[in-house]
A = this chain, B = another copy of it.
Amino acid sequence: MSPPSAAESPPLAPLQFDQRPEEKFREFLEIRGEKLTEPRRLLVRHIYSSHKHFDADELIADLQAAGHRVSRATVYRTLRLLVEAHLLRELRLTNRTAYEHDYGYPSHDHMHCTTCGAVLEFTNEELRNLRDRVAAAHGFRATGHRFIITGQCGTCARARSPRRRLDRI
């Protein structure tokens, strides 16, 4: 019926940076009369050394595993700054805040598997257009959006349907 298999979510390729994230952060801070201190530099670098989604706790744990130590308070304070600087974007898949890169990475949206919790990314050209048309039609000035498709990822969907048959044996 359906073709045997389609490629599932090839990871998105990172874009080139115009500036290193660290520099972008420094500029942002400078404008506000604040400084790129050692803990802040450590955090930006660490966060930009990989592309995964993370929350505050995971970040703190990762840092410790890497032999670094920044206080909870500073981590939370810096995360807020990074969001304001448009280096990070907040995801609200659950009631805890998760973060992802918002710089040097193509704009994209998410599929959230409610069975295994996996988060997949995708890009779609039409969506932004649709968003802007909808907003305009309502006198709304769109600056961003979040689009999250919920359901089951291929693996969980496959694991579930056959199981029903086995259960009957």
Contacts and interface: CB of A to CB of B under 8 A. Distances in A.
Interface stretch (A21-29, A41-49, A61-69, A138-146): A138-146
Interface in A44-77: none
Contacts of A113: 140
Copies of this chain, tallied across the complex: 2
Nearest to A115: B141
Interface string A65-102: 00000000000000000000000000011111100000
Contact of A138 (B8, B144, B147): B8
Interface residues of A, number: 41
25 contacts: A5-B139, A6-B137, A6-B138, A8-B140, A92-B93, A92-B94, A95-B96, A111-B134, A120-B140, A124-B130, A126-B126, A130-B130, A140-B151, A140-B154, A141-B154, A141-B157, A142-B149, A142-B150, A143-B150, A144-B149, A145-B147, A146-B146, A146-B147, A146-B148, A147-B148
